[in-house]
Structure 1
Amino acid sequence: MISGVLLDLVGVIYDGEDLITGATSAVARLHEAGLPVRFVSNTTRSSKQAILDRLSRFGLSIKSDELFTPAQAAREWLGRHEQSPHLLVHPDLVPDFHDLTGSKGKAVVVGDAGEIFDYRTLNKAFRELIEGADFLALAPNRAFKDADGKLSLDAGAFVTALEFASQKRAVILGKPSPDFFLSALNSMHCSKTEAVMVGDDAENDVAGALQAGISCALLVRTGKYRREDENRFKPSPTATVDDISAAVDWIIAKRGI
């Protein structure tokens, strides 16, 4: 029985500035089938509003509370712990942390900072960590599909470097954090046993969802997918399909089982 759907964005719905063929109609089919949908993205180079604006340009009218981002999770964490952020993130993501102050300390927040990653910025974050700051990683992704179609280093490599140097383990806020998946499921009152996740990242989207207890996770052969990705990480995908349209075919066919 499938009662709710979690969809990754980059590599599943769009790829760079291009909508993946059939994505809009695939999402519409889920809605027509009465299945609630939440979008769960590890994108950390764009603000939440920028992502919503891009989806709107693609013809997908998504409400803010239907989109879950690591920056949003970080804001909530910082608020709960009354901490202020030391940001090592892409400049386009900084607006998502506007007006955050805390009276009980500081937390280093690391996302995909792109060209901002250099010795100076990494060393500054390292010094904050060894002086007592908490450590938040927006996502642990190893690589992402860059504008030239090739894979590039993602934030995970830099998070690992800071963990090694500071001897502190980062709190992961985006996928594959179980709390991240569960926040999205709770917002549509869907249990883990009746949910399905669709992503192009066999490690964080698919294996992460299954490890979090989600009953099904589909890997699409678009975005960052590379041949044999379905065999690189455990648990293996429930199914590997060509694209979001094929994923929706699978979901609707299995919905009542």
Structure 2
Amino acid sequence: MPQAVLLDISGVLYQDASPLPGSVPAVAALQAKGYPLRLVTNTSRLTSAEIYRQLTGMGYALQPEQIYSAPRAVRHYLLAHDLRPYCLIHRNLEEEFADLLELPAANAVVLGDAEERFDYAHLEHAFHLLLDGAPLLAMGDNRYFRSHGALHLDAGPFVRALEYAAGVQALVLGKPSAAFFAGALEELDVPAGEALMIGDDVESDVLGAQQAGLQACLVQTGKYRAGDESKSPGALLAKDLADAVRRFC
């Protein structure tokens, strides 16, 4: 049995603004058993405060500090390295970076899921900063996400485009980065080998966790696609979060 549990959010706890069946009591069961929890997400369209508001509105009994997001990890990195970012991010996320958006002479490029801001002008500006030596900091490199029954482009394809154009390699600070998982576990004071990651994304959640030394469980909800389990030897497989908690926690 694990000593701590990390849960992906979208596709594991909810889908299209509604909690997935059995997920609310499953989280309650984990808390009743005393598991230290972190809800880990690459979501870069919402602030941590908004994620917390939405989840508690769905019935999840959580604390704000239990949410560990890629934007939070990126912000921590910027401050720790005294970087002035050019933020190619979603409008909804500006609040989380408000004190950093107006700093002069940007010397880093921060990229999240910028949606309609992924246009030529914004990408061109980021490209020239990278050519001048700015590092490329990515909140994640997910290829797509699921919303309202369909798959949509995520930030990953645009990360790859800038890497290719500028001849650089992005530092990914969200999942599947080992540093991201380490940051969440550091808050819980639990070694990687004693933690279980439960997610629906075989690449970012499951393979990323395994490579960081965690146990991992793939749930067949959210962006799961038939055959994904073949990509993650050694990972646990569950129908959904409730099934995972019942069998593996």
Match of 2:233 in 1: 236
Match of 1:255 in 2: none
Q: Is the 2:15–2:147 Cα contact (8 Å) retained in structure 1? A: no
Match of 2:221 in 1: 222
Count residues with an aligned counterpart. 248
Cα deviations by residue, 1:82-137 (Å, 9 ceiling, x for unpaired)? 11110111110111111127689521001111121111111111111112211100
Match of 1:246 in 2: 243
Match of 2:30 in 1: 30
Cα deviations by residue, 1:179-200 (Å, 9 ceiling, x for unpaired)? 1111111211211111100000
- Report the AA paired with residue 194 of structure 1: E
Q: Is the 1:83–1:102 Cα contact (8 Å) retained in structure 2? A: no
Match of 2:209 in 1: 209
Q: Is the 2:12–2:241 Cα contact (8 Å) retained in structure 1? A: yes
1:153-192 equivalent positions in 2, closer than 5 A? 153-192=153-192
Match of 2:112 in 1: 111
- Distance in 2 (CA, whole Å) between partners of 1:157 and 1:111 is 11
- Distance in 2 (CA, whole Å) between partners of 1:106 and 1:173 is 17
* TM-score computed with the length of structure 1 as normaliser: 0.93
Provide the secondary structure at the position in 2 that maps to 1:162.
helix
Q: Give how far 1:226 is off.
A: 0.9
- Report the AA paired with residue 113 of structure 2: D
2:140 is equivalent to residue 139 of structure 1: yes
- Report the AA paired with residue 95 of structure 1: E
- Distance in 2 (CA, whole Å) between partners of 1:33 and 1:107 is 43
Cα distance change on mapping 1:23 and 1:126 into 2, 3 Å: same
- What are the ranges of 5 or more consecutive residues in structure 1 without an aligned counterpart? 253-257
- Distance in 2 (CA, whole Å) between partners of 1:30 and 1:159 is 35
Q: Give how far 1:66 is off.
A: 1.0
1:52-131 equivalent positions in 2, closer than 5 A? 52-100=52-100, 106-131=107-132
- Report the AA paired with residue 11 of structure 1: G
- Report the AA paired with residue 63 of structure 2: K
Cα deviations by residue, 1:49-69 (Å, 9 ceiling, x for unpaired)? 110110110112322221111
Q: Give how far 1:146 is off.
A: 2.3
* TM-score computed with the length of structure 2 as normaliser: 0.95
2:38 is equivalent to residue 41 of structure 1: no
- Distance in 2 (CA, whole Å) between partners of 1:165 and 1:103 is 25
Provide the secondary structure at the position in 2 that maps to 1:157.
helix
- Report the AA paired with residue 114 of structure 1: E
Q: Report the RMSD for the aligned CA atoms in angstroms.
A: 1.5
Cα deviations by residue, 1:114-166 (Å, 9 ceiling, x for unpaired)? 1211111111111111122111000010110022x111111000000000001
- Distance in 2 (CA, whole Å) between partners of 1:142 and 1:250 is 30
- Distance in 2 (CA, whole Å) between partners of 1:102 and 1:223 is 38
Provide the secondary structure at the position in 2 that maps to 1:12.
coil
Provide the secondary structure at the position in 2 that maps to 1:71.
helix
Aligned-pair identity in percent equals 42
Cα distance change on mapping 1:199 and 1:206 into 2, 3 Å: same
1:2-17 equivalent positions in 2, closer than 5 A? 2-17=2-17
